[in-house]
Amino acid sequence: MDGTLFQTDNILELALDDAFEKLRSMKYWTGETPIAAYREIMGAPLPKVWETLLPEHSMEVREQTDAYFLERLIENIKLGKGALYPNVKETFEYLTSNDYSIYIASNGLTAYLQAIVDYYHLDHWVTETFSIQQIDSLNKSDLVKTIKENYNIQKGVVVGDRLSDINAAKDNGFLAIGCNFDFAQVDELVHADVVINELLELKTVLSR
C-alpha cells in the first residue's frame, strides 16, 4: 500500500508531527520531528518503527504514540488529504479486466489500510487486503505465503517498493517487480526481477 499504491508522504508528515507534538507536550521529546529517520525505515512494521524512533522510551510510551499516530493518519485519510499514485485505478481496471486477481499485502495496520480502501473504493478491484497484524512473525514473506495458500495461487507477482516486497516475492516463487517510487532505495531495487517507474508499466511487463 504505502509507497506503491498510496502516496503516504501527503499525510505522513502531518501525522508524525502531530504524534511528536503530543510527545513534546508530555515532556517525552525535545527537538524536531525525526522525519528523515522515519523515511529511512518507511515500510517497516510500526512496532519496529517506534523502536527505532523512540529507542530510549518505554513500551507504554511507544504504544501510546503508535495509537495516536494511527488515529491521525486515519483522520487525514478521511479528510481527503492523501492521494493514490497516478494511474492506480486505471492499472487495477486493466488487471481485473484481464483476469488478474489483486491482493494488497501491507505492513500497515488493518484500520489504516481499511480507511484507504474505503475512501478510494479499492475493493471494487481488490479481492482482499492483508495486514502484517495478521502474522505473528511480522514478516512480509509470511504474509504473502498466507495469501498464496488461502487462494491457492500457483503463479503470481509481487509489486512493491522495498526489499521486504522483493524478498516476499522470491521466498514464495513469484516474480518480483520493484517500484522506483518515493521510498525506494537503489541498493534494494537491484534485487528485483523487473523495475518500473510508473504503475501503468505493469501492462507491458505482464504482457510479456
52 & 126 share domain: no
Angle between helices 46-53 and 59-78 (to 10 degrees): 120
83 domain-assigned? no
Mean pLDDT of 97-108: 96
- Reported pTM: 0.87
- Structural domain count, the chain: 2
Residue 50 falls inside a structural domain: yes
Is 160 part of any domain?
A: yes
Which pLDDT band, with edges at 50, 70 and 90, does 43 fall under? low
Q: Does 40 share its domain with 120?
A: no
Specify whether 55 is located in the same domain as 118.
no
The one-character DSSP state at 85 is P
Q: 35 near 20, Cβ under 8 Å?
A: no
Banded pLDDT at 169 (limits 50, 70, 90): very high
DSSP E strand boundaries for the chain: 102-106, 126-131, 157-160, 175-179, 194-196
Q: What domain range is 31 assigned to?
A: 9-78
Domain termination residue (choose one: 21, 53, 78)? 78
Whether residues 170 and 92 share a domain: the answer is: yes
